């Protein structure tokens, strides 16, 4: 905060397509999709129109004991595009909340549907996981910088190493390792499954950890293990959902259906806060019963099922169909891979990870030893400031640079983004190599 106060703050006033425009009228490419939410660009006419049209009817009415047409239609559309078997939709208003809902649903499901299974109320997750900033989500997360100081408030969980191939915790190499990191996971499941309500995972990409990409088949194996040991699989697709990985949902790359799925960020194309937790008919049925049994899922938010949010989410899904967003994304993903190739040669680029339109560039002080830059170097931040001066907005995670442009980004804009990124890395790493800046 102290440093931010001294820096020139950037105040965004407008947006158009892949650009953000500040109060001085300066244009910047939105290299983070406004932190992973925007899909079809800013001020998309169809999305703008959806909100204006809905506003002429009503902005919001409660979802507690009532329903509304956009929320009903959206639930129908979501079921249509989901992995097969996800049949029920529970709305909330942000990604963290969608995760909280999934965790609570899992625990209550086991109590009501399978009381004979005994108390199943702990969760299994990967290290470096990020599932949001509320306390339940933080409990199943593991990013020391964000979560460390709140440990005393968190519920206990079981953890295992993630498939972080660049810094393999087992010191092995893919594919000769044959995904040996799955063995400890099976060991823990075998021993502790009786107390486990669920296994929560960011499918294919652990985004906030710095786009840690799982090898093909990893998710399938996790699904198999969860089924075998009778543990619910919770897929957190808040970051990976809505086309980011190249398919509508990351689970669809491996034909996996989770028992619960959390979605938010891209759900409204980056327009309004809205989220949903999806589940199967089997879990839904666990919440049915007579009044006096109180099997209700007592969880509701003031803005659940908000009409403006649901309307723009419907328009968002419509744009996917109308503009063939996913089909048009495929060549752009290939172009992205090609554009990033030369960056691998840079002396301080340790690793580049890409899955679809999600990219991380891990900067290191020493490429041979993979030694990270010291914290004081603020290398991620330096590169970001260089990029900003060149007209590209980024937000790094420590020394890992993230590029996650809107799916609608043109080839020309994509090329500019990567060119600016390269120049910014070169300038910032060279400046540090030649001594501290004045």
Ligand X SMILES: *Cc1c(COP(=O)(O)O)cnc(C)c1O
Q: Name the residues that contact ligand X, by CB under 6 A.
A: 94-96, 99, 130-132, 202, 207-208, 236, 238-239, 264-265
Is 201 or 364 the residue whose CB approaches ligand X more closely? Answer: 201
Instruction: Work out how close the CB of 129 gets to ligand X at its nearest, in angstroms, rounded to a whole number.
Output: 8
Which residue's C-beta sits nearest to ligand X?
A: 95
Least distance (Å) between residue 70 CB and ligand X = 20
Closest CB to ligand X among residues 105, 428: 105
The two tokens of residue 193 are 């499954």
CA dist 89 and 280 (Å) reads 9
Collapsing DSSP to helix, strand or coil, 311 comes out as helix
Classified as helix, coil or strand, 275 is: strand
Residue 39 C-beta: closest distance to ligand X, Å: 15
Residue 25 Cβ vs ligand X, minimum distance, rounded to whole Å: 30
CB 414, min distance to ligand X, A:
22
- Smaller CB distance to ligand X: residue 264 or 316? 264
Is the sign of the CA dihedral 394, 134, 108, 193 positive or negative?
positive
Distance from C-alpha of 329 to C-alpha of 39, rounded to nearest angstrom: 11
Counting Cα atoms < 13 Å in the Cβ hemisphere of 337 gives 11
Cα distances from 358 to residues 32, 46, 179, 210, in angstroms, run 9, 25, 22, 10
Which residue, 103 or 179, is less far from ligand X as judged by CB?
103
Considering the complex, what minimum distance in angstroms separates the CB of residue 91 from ligand X?
13
Q: Give the three-state DSSP class for 377.
A: helix
Q: How far apart are CA 190 and CA 184, in angstroms?
A: 10
Nearer to ligand X, 202 or 254 (CB): 202
Q: Which is nearer to ligand X, 265 or 382 (CB)?
A: 265
DSSP code string of 355-369: ETTEEEEEE-SBTTT
**Maximal CA-CA distance, the chain:** 73
Q: Which is nearer to ligand X, 238 or 278 (CB)?
A: 238
Asked if residues 249 and 264 have their Cβ atoms less than 8 Å apart, the reply is: no
Q: How far is the CB of 286 from ligand X (least distance, A)?
A: 24
Of 239 and 418, which has the nearer Cβ to ligand X?
Answer: 239
Q: Which is nearer to ligand X, 102 or 428 (CB)?
A: 102
The smaller minimum CB distance to ligand X, of residues 353 and 382, is found at 353
CB of 130 to ligand X, least distance (A): 6
Closest CA to 201 of 174, 188, 220: 220
Q: What sections of 135-254 are H helices per DSSP?
A: 135-139, 144-147, 182-192, 218-228
Strand, coil or helix: 99: helix
Closest CA to 265 of 281, 283, 244: 244
Give min distance, CB of 300 to ligand X, in A. Answer: 17
Contact indicator for 226, 233 with CB cutoff of 8 Å:
yes
Cβ contacts of residue 405 below 8 Å, gap of 6+?
18, 29, 30, 31, 32, 33, 357, 413, 414, 417
368 half-sphere exposure, CB direction, 13 A CA radius: 0
């Amino acid at each position: 905060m102290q440093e931010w106060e001294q820096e020139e703050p950037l105040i965004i006033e407008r947006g158009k397509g892949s650009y953000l425009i500040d109060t001085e009228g300066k244009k910047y490419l939105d290299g983070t999709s406004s932190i992973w939410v925007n899909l079809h660009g800013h001020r998309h006419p169809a999305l703008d129109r959806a909100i204006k049209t809905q506003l002429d009817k009503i902005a919001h009415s409660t979802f507690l004991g009532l329903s509304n047409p956009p929320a009903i239609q959206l639930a129908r559309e979501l079921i249509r595009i989901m992995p097969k078997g996800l049949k029920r939709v529970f709305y909330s208003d942000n990604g963290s909340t969608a995760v909280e809902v999934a965790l609570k649903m899992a625990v209550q499901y086991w109590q009501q549907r399978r009381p004979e299974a005994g108390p199943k109320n702990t969760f299994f997750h990967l290290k470096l996981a990020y599932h949001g900033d509320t306390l339940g989500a933080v409990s199943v997360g593991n990013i020391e910088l964000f979560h460390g100081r709140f440990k005393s408030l968190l519920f206990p969980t079981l953890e295992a190493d993630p498939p972080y191939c660049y810094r393999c915790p087992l010191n092995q190499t893919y594919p000769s390792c044959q995904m040996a990191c799955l063995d400890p996971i099976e060991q823990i499941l075998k021993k502790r499954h009786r107390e486990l309500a669920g296994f929560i995972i960011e499918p294919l990409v652990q985004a906030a950890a710095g786009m840690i990409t799982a090898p093909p088949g990893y998710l399938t194996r996790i699904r198999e293990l969860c089924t075998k040991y009778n543990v619910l699989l919770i897929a957190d697709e808040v970051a990976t959902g809505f086309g980011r990985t190249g398919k509508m949902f990351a689970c669809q790359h491996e034909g996996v259906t989770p028992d619960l799925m959390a979605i938010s960020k891209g759900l409204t194309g980056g327009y309004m806060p809205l989220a949903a937790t999806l589940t199967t008919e089997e879990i839904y049925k666990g919440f049915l019963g007579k009044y006096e049994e109180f099997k209700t899922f007592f969880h509701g938010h003031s803005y659940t099922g908000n009409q403006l949010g649901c309307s723009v989410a419907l328009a968002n899904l419509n744009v996917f169909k109308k503009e063939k967003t996913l089909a048009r994304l495929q060549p752009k993903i290939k172009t992205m891979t090609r554009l990033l190739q030369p960056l691998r040669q840079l002396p301080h680029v340790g690793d580049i990870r890409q899955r679809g339109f999600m990219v991380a560039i891990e900067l290191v002080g020493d490429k041979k030893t993979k030694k990270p830059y010291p914290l004081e170097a603020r290398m991620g931040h330096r590169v970001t400031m260089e990029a900003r001066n060149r007209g590209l907005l980024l937000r790094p995670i420590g020394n890992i640079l993230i590029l996650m442009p809107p799916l609608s980004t043109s080839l020309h804009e994509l090329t500019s983004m990567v060119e600016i990124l390269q120049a910014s890395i070169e300038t910032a790493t060279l400046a540090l190599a030649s001594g501290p800046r004045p």
